[in-house]
Amino acid sequence: MTQETQSAPSWRSQVIRVAKSLLQPLYALYQQRLETVVKNHAMPKHIGLILDGNRRFAKALGLDGKAGYEFGVDKAHEVLGWCLELGIPAATIWVLSTDNFTKRGQDEVQHLMHLFEREARNLAKDPRIHGNRVRVRAIGRHDLFPEDVLASLRDLEAATAHYDGMALNIAVGYGGREEIVDAVKKLLISHKDQTPESIAATLEPEEIGQHLYTADLPDPDFIIRTSGEIRLGGFMLWQSAYSEYYFCEANWPDFRRIDFLRALRAYQARDMRLGK
């Protein structure tokens, strides 16, 4: 093998680094112009985020899949900041499904539980949460969660329950089908003095909607999923009937501000007729 052949990969790497450094100012200018365009149009009232691709991100770096969740946590904090800066009134982020909780390895689930407890404690002290009066809630089925995790989630909710700023829902142990089942159960309990026949005779979709986890919020008008998967996977099945969707190729930890801005620009360019 010649010296020229041996040095080729190194030479190509140097060219790539130089090209990136030269393009960086243009890239920053493009992002700045894109942000100006986005800020001059209406923002979603409620954005849904499906945080997919943490494990694939880690494995691409040669790391254990669980390490990807640490990167994912950092990205979630970053994206929260973007939402606050852009004045988005409500966001629901899906971090763990009911299927994930029951079907993934015990070590991985325990690692996630540790992260949930730690991050709930961190959010309860986060100056951005209190400075922007963000109301945080954990939605989903939590009956199998360890008590220390439940306590940290309850403390976070209590610390922000009186706030009237952005509404942040953390969907953890969440499934769209389970949410609908829980809503129907609550509805039946609220009409316990009536017969099933009388309930069925007057039942309307709006009444079920009143018992969903997010009943006090507008339905999400925009949902983003990362990692290139083109499916909802059960996310907010009832509420997403008229949502606009955007599927980003980047894995969640690789999701950049410019990706977020591009998604918002795509949303703003659509003709949203809401079934009309």
For the chain, the residue count is 276
* Distance in angstroms (rounded) separating the CA atoms of residues 192 and 197: 12
* Distance in angstroms (rounded) separating the CA atoms of residues 80 and 92: 10
Given 52, 126, 219, 221, the catalytic residue: 52
Active site (annotated) includes residue 100: yes
Answer whether 117's CB lies under 8 Å from 149's CB.
yes
63 Cα distance to chain centroid? 23
Name the nearest CA neighbour of 175 among 230, 112, 229, 95: 95
Q: What is the structure's pLDDT at 271?
A: 79
Q: What is the structure's pLDDT at 199?
A: 94
Regions of the chain with pLDDT less than 70: 1-20, 22-23, 273-276
Answer whether 168's CB lies under 8 Å from 136's CB.
yes
The predicted model scores a pTM of: 0.89
Q: What is the structure's pLDDT at 6?
A: 47
Q: What is the structure's pLDDT at 40?
A: 95
* Distance in angstroms (rounded) separating the CA atoms of residues 51 and 69: 10
204 Cα distance to chain centroid? 29
Given 100, 155, 254, 259, the catalytic residue: 100
* Distance in angstroms (rounded) separating the CA atoms of residues 78 and 164: 21
- Give the pLDDT confidence of 40-88 residue by residue, as tens digits: 999 999 999 999 999 999 999 999 999 999 999 999 999 999 999 999 9
Q: What is the structure's pLDDT at 250?
A: 97
Active site (annotated) includes residue 52: yes
Q: Which residues pair with 47 in a beta bridge?
A: 91, 222
Token pair for 84? 């606050």
DSSP assignment string, 174-192: E-HHHHHHHHHHHHHHHTT
What angle in degrees, to the nearest 10, is found between the helix axes of 3-39 and 257-268? 50
Answer whether 51's CB lies under 8 Å from 226's CB.
yes
Type of residue numbered 217: L
